[in-house]
Each structure stands twice: as structure tokens, then as C-alpha cells.
């Protein structure tokens, strides 16, 4: 994956200046923090990661995995196909094995990111929902079709991937980390 720097930074022992191009090796992942800011992580050694770098990310993740990390809270009060509420994520069924769609609010729990813009940039093929306070608990979902923009929220068709943790189903208002992943 090729990125274009927008600020000075050091990566893998090489100094980059604005307008320099950086080829991210396959062993690394690009983590999109916002619409124009990313971090590069060495997937072989998770302790090795770049400092925060400002880049112009590509429109589609190619080569190295490309992903976004967002924060949400669980809405388990209903399974209705409507706006889950500010900073909330909802499943369309109470039993995990019956879930075919995720309803994700346009704004994250910290109101910092507009997920509709991030979605268009990443166009994810996989979603990982992880309990923020216990990383062992996570759900992996395969995106099965295009997300439907419902103005204040998006509806994402999904199929179950894997479930890790002790029958992980978050309680209402559980803090979640949501990873939108393309490639890899």
C-alpha cells in the first residue's frame, strides 16, 4: 500500500517529509484514526508501531490490511431496524447466530468520527467488535453486501465469522471497540 505523507515523520528508520511517498510492506497494517490521520503497525510484532503519522490514505485498502478503530457502546434494549442512538451499535437479533445486520450510529461514542465518511474510505470486508475492557471478548463479522446509509446511521449486512470469549454478548451500554477491516 502506498501512502503520501502530509507531515514530517520517522518510519522504519527512514525520515519522511510532506509529499514523500511511503510504501507500507505487507507485514504491516495501516490503522486509520481519522479521515486524514493514520498509524502504521508491524503485524509480526504488535509492540512495533509508528508514531502517529498524518497521511492521505488510499481510497481502498490494497496489499497491507487497512483498518479503522472506532468506539461505540452497545444498544441491547431492542433489535429494531432504526437509528440506535448517538454513539451506539445494535444487532438485529438477540441470539448472535441469528444476526444478519448491524445498525451503527453515524457518530461514535466520543462524537469524534463520522462513520459514514470512514466507511466510504475503507469499504470494509470484515468487522470486529471487541469489548473495550476485555480484549478476549470479541465478535468477528463478515460484511456480505453494501452498507445502507440511513442518514444518521448505517445498516450493515453481515454473516457470523468467529466468536471469542465467554459467549460474548455485550450488555446494554458496554464500551466497544469496533474495527473496520479491508484486505489482509
User: Last residue of a domain, which of 11, 36, 64?
Assistant: 64
How large is the average pLDDT for residues 32-37? 56
pLDDT by residue (tens digit) across 128-157?
888 888 777 888 899 999 889 998 999 999
pLDDT by residue (tens digit) across 86-131?
999 999 998 888 999 999 998 888 876 667 766 766 677 888 888 8
3-class SS of residue 3: strand
Q: Could you tell me if 102 and 89 are in contact, meaning their C-beta atoms sit under 8 angstroms apart? A: yes
At residue 133, the pLDDT reads 80
User: Last residue of a domain, which of 43, 64, 85?
Assistant: 64
Cα–Cα distance for residue pair 150/135, rounded to 1 Å: 30
Which residues are bridge partners to 155 per DSSP? 103, 148
Q: Are 109 and 123 found together in one domain?
A: yes
The total number of structural domains that make up the chain: 2
Q: Are 25 and 79 found together in one domain?
A: no
Q: Are 125 and 87 found together in one domain?
A: yes
Q: Are 29 and 75 found together in one domain?
A: no
Q: Are 92 and 161 found together in one domain?
A: yes
State phi, psi for 121 to the nearest 5 degrees.
Answer: -75, -40
Domain of 46 in residue numbering reads as 2-64
Q: Are 92 and 157 found together in one domain?
A: yes
Count CA within 13 A, CB hemisphere, residue 75: 22
Cα–Cα distance for residue pair 173/19, rounded to 1 Å: 42
User: Last residue of a domain, which of 44, 64, 84?
Assistant: 64
Q: Could you tell me if 70 and 108 are in contact, meaning their C-beta atoms sit under 8 angstroms apart? A: yes
Amino acid at each position: 500500500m502506498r501512502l503520501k505523507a502530509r507531515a514530517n515523520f520517522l518510519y522504519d528508520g527512514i525520515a519522511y517529509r510532506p509529499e514523500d511517498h511511503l510504501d507500507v510492506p505487507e507485514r504491516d497494517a495501516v490503522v486509520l484514526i481519522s479521515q486524514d490521520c493514520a498509524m502504521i503497525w508491524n503485524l509480526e510484532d504488535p509492540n512495533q508501531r509508528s508514531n502517529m503519522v498524518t497521511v492521505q490514505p488510499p481510497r481502498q485498502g490494497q496489499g497491507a490490511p487497512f483498518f479503522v478503530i472506532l468506539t461505540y457502546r452497545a444498544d441491547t434494549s431492542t433489535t429494531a431496524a432504526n437509528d440506535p442512538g448517538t454513539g451506539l451499535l445494535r444487532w438485529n437479533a438477540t441470539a448472535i447466530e441469528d444476526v444478519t445486520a448491524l445498525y451503527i450510529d453515524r457518530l461514535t461514542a466520543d462524537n469524534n468520527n463520522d462513520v459514514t465518511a470512514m466507511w466510504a474510505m475503507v469499504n470494509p470486508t470484515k468487522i470486529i467488535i471487541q469489548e473495550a475492557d476485555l480484549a478476549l471478548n470479541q465478535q468477528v463479522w463478515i460484511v456480505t453486501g453494501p452498507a445502507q446509509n440511513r442518514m444518521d446511521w448505517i445498516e450493515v449486512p453481515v454473516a457470523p465469522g468467529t466468536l471469542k470469549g465467554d459467549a460474548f454478548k455485550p450488555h446494554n451500554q458496554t464500551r466497544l471497540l469496533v474495527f473496520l477491516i479491508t484486505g489482509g
